[in-house]
Structure 1
Amino acid sequence: MKTCPYCGSPVAKENEANYYECDFCMIQIKDAEEDGSRKTITFRETADEDDLFKTTPELMTFHTFELLSLLRLIRQKRSVKYNELYRKAKADEITGNTASEESREDYRFLTKKMNIVENILLQRLGYIPDRLYDSYLTKYLDKIKNGQKNKSKMNIFKEV
């Protein structure tokens, strides 16, 4: 029997677009579960450089752990870029040159991406993590993995 992945209620196909409708949650569901199973969440355990160029709507679909990993990557790259700009500015004082516009643009880009990811995390977590140490990310990942192991099925309450 197809069930809602959120509340466990039985669902039926509602329309030709192959959506299921949950009367209790009052939502349309693309992928219903079987017999009260909970929704399976998939995510990557790391972020990569390609993620820097994802749009905001794409980033909003990322798992929270992926966003935390991405935020850590962005902050590292931004810090490197800041130090590079600082060194260039010091050298420019001596030579009379100005820091390259490309470096400034990279720093601005990383700052904007950092703001986007921080704001998505703020909406989800209620705060922006100050520092993302290995220990923090490892504990977070362990909690996710342990939570997925203990997934019990939901009780199914049929209409009377």
Structure 2
Amino acid sequence: MMKCLYCDSENNSIDQACSVCGAPLYTKRPQLKEYVSLEDSALSFQELQRFHTYDLLVLLRLVREERSKSYNLMRAVQKAPEGIEIDKSIIEFGESEYRLYTARMKLIEGLLVDRMGYKPKRVDDKLLTALKHRMDSK
């Protein structure tokens, strides 16, 4: 016998779906990670989909910070005074980093919209603390 992770009903282990609610019996629910880093943003859609919502919010915060840094650097290079020679590869690198972090940000925001129904404008300590508190009080 196997218990459904969603409705807590006992099920025959040969079934793929819960006989009461129809939820898949062998799907793992997202678990909180010990540590989320900017490198996680390079993971595929399928891998990010397995992240807990809290971890996606932390990752979105990291990616938005990095995207802002890339944008500010790109703008600083573009506004360099005349007469200063800046290698074209440096300019192209800055632009590609900005595009990369923009794409990663949009992917994570899309996953959050699927789960939460919206993408948060700001991911600050207040939002993360409130979510953590709700999770701990379950």
Same fold (TM over 0.5): yes
Give yes or no for contact 1:46–1:70 (8 Å, CA) kept in 2.
no
Q: Judging changes above 3 Å, is the alpha-carbon distance between structure 1 residues 29 and 23 closer, same or farther for their aligned structure 2 residues? A: same
**Larger Rg, first or second structure (1 or 2):** 1
- In structure 2, runs of 5+ residues without a counterpart are none
1:75-118 per-residue CA deviation (whole Å, 9 max, x = no partner) reads: 00000111101110011655364562111111100000000000
Larger relative helix fraction: 2
Q: Identify the residue that residue 3 of structure 1 maps to in structure 2.
A: 3
Give yes or no for contact 1:11–1:22 (8 Å, CA) kept in 2.
yes
Equivalent residue for 2:65, pick from 64, 67, 76: 76
Q: Percent identity?
A: 32
- In structure 1, runs of 5+ residues without a counterpart are 32-38, 148-160
Larger relative strand fraction: 1
SS of 2:137's partner is: helix
SS of 1:22's partner is: coil
- The 1-side partners of 2:110 and 2:83 are apart by 39
Q: Judging changes above 3 Å, is the alpha-carbon distance between structure 1 residues 140 and 28 closer, same or farther for their aligned structure 2 residues? A: closer
Q: Could you state the TM-score of these two structures normalised by the residue count of structure 1?
A: 0.75
- The 2-side partners of 1:25 and 1:92 are apart by 65
Q: Identify the residue that residue 53 of structure 1 maps to in structure 2.
A: 42
Give yes or no for contact 1:46–1:69 (8 Å, CA) kept in 2.
no
Q: Could you state the TM-score of these two structures normalised by the residue count of structure 2?
A: 0.85
After TM superposition, where is structure 1 displaced by more than 6 Å over at least 4 residues in a row?
Answer: none
Matched, 1:65 2:61: no
Specify the code of the residue in structure 2 equivalent to 1:66.
D
Q: RCO higher in 1 or 2 (8 Å CA, sep ≥ 6)?
A: 1
Query: How many residue pairs were aligned?
Result: 136
Matched, 1:91 2:80: yes
